[in-house]
Amino acid sequence: MKTIDELIQDGVEGKRVFVRADLNVPLDGTTITDDGRIRAVVPTVKALAEAGAKVIVASHLGRPKGAPDPKFSLAPAATRLGELLGKNVSFATDTVGDSAKATVAALANGEVTLLENLRFNAGETSKDDAERGAFADALAGLADLYVGDGFGAVHRKHASVFDLPARLPHAAGYLIATEVGVLKKLTDQVRRPYAVVLGGAKVSDKLGVIDHLLEKADRILIGGGMAYTFLKAKGYEVGISLLQEDQIPAVQGYLRRAEERGVEFVLPVDVLVAAEFPDLKTKAPAHPETVAADAIPADQEGLDIGPETRKLYASKLADAATVFWNGPMGVFEHPDYAEGTKAVAQALLDSPAFTVVGGGDSAAAVRQLGFDENPGRGFDHISTGGGASLEYLEGKTLPGLAALED
């Protein structure tokens, strides 16, 4: 795929460049609580603006139902992007309507605008090719060139991700180029031992990647809510912990395959439990109890890995040459259940391995827990796309990446 540097070398001065970013940031009302995804697109936008392009940034936020919804407005993102760029970023209050057309028409060379949430138009996410194509045609009318830089959305066959690049000369932005380069080190250019840490709530979200990693990884460490389905599959009592009963046969199959292939599957040996889920608003003390993983009381819920598991997991990561981590080890948003996630993050930092944090909640956790996210001082890479990263590791073709290939 063509790079943004090649695009700039060909000349972008005075041209309208549509940058498909991923500004799907968490909001508390109109306050951005984690601006990581906005910061990730800054290098691409800055390079284009400095080269004299008229930069049109577009993104989705949340899951509006194909119509304007004020709580999903990208207006706060426009303000923050302007702060990070050190220049004004104008904001169009629609996607392809009068505001968008007027705002784009008013751009001078080197200026930047942000369109309103792409998902306010039903054509963005439509499964009907004609409807999606019509929206892509309207977006194409705003621009001369296309740069794909929203890695968190490349696994979606959406108008601005998949259809629009076919209508304009296109290139990959810096973020996408970096993400793909990193993911190749987790698939085609792996240094071993290769350890994978998987957490998060649901086993079903990780089935595809577990299946694929059984052919790639040397050891797989499991934590988070999904761990209790694995423990149940081994015949353990898991109390009122998060459980996907329907996934137990699949999990048992994975455990058998891992043993047959010599892949080490590592499960918690102890967990923190409580009778009820913690209050994440007040952060009131939860007073958890530590129990063995095979001795969870019937009326208790597992909410984090325990101290012995933290030590075990650190030891399993210490000699790794490559580590991929996706998903927290517990309810990290509450201080009483953050130690497991914190321990895994620290183990990655202490390891000499090439370390990748796979987006989503894991990325939010490392920021919330105060870890340095800058390459060279922290983790080697923090992905901006949890779902996209997982699907890439599953070996799937990602529509947004395929669309950027010539």
Query: What pLDDT is stored for residue 188 in this prediction?
Result: 85
Spatial distance between the Cα atoms of 329 and 257, rounded to a whole number of angstroms: 24
Give CA–CA dist 170/21, Å, rounded: 14
22 is in an annotated binding site: yes
According to the model, what pLDDT value does residue 131 have? 98
Selected catalytic residue, list 200, 223, 330, 387: 387
Instruction: Select which of 46, 167, 185, 202 is catalytic.
Output: 202
Cα distances (Å, whole numbers) of residue 25 to 30, 77, 209: 11, 8, 25
Residue 374 is predicted with a pLDDT of: 67
The confidence score (pLDDT) of residue 203 equals: 87
Quote the pLDDT of residue 249.
96
- Tell me whether residue 367 is one of the annotated catalytic residues: no
191 marked among binding-site residues: no
Residues 209-225 as b or e (16 or more Cβ within 10 Å = b): bbebbbebbbbbbbbbb
Let me know if 202 is a catalytic residue: yes
Which is the catalytic residue, given 15, 16, 20, 37?
37
* Residue 333 labelled as part of a binding site: yes
pLDDT of residue 51: 98
> 37 among the known binding-site residues?
yes
pLDDT at 370: 84
The pLDDT assigned to 406 comes to 75
The catalytically annotated residue of 123, 148, 152, 360 is 360
Q: Known binder of ligand: residue 302?
A: yes
Catalytic-residue membership of 14: no
The helix (run of H) or strand (run of E) holding residue 32 is: strand 31-32
Q: Please confirm, yes or no, whether 192 is among the known catalytic residues.
A: no
308 burial type by CB count under 10 A (0-12 exposed, 13-18 middle, 19+ buried) = middle
Report mean pLDDT in 10-residue bins for the chain, 406 residues. Answer: 96 98 93 91 98 98 95 98 98 98 98 98 98 98 98 96 98 96 89 95 87 93 96 96 95 96 97 95 93 97 98 97 94 95 94 86 82 72 85 91 92
Cα torsion through 215, 216, 221, 222, rounded to 10: -50
Q: Was 362 annotated as part of a binding site?
A: yes
pLDDT at 202: 85
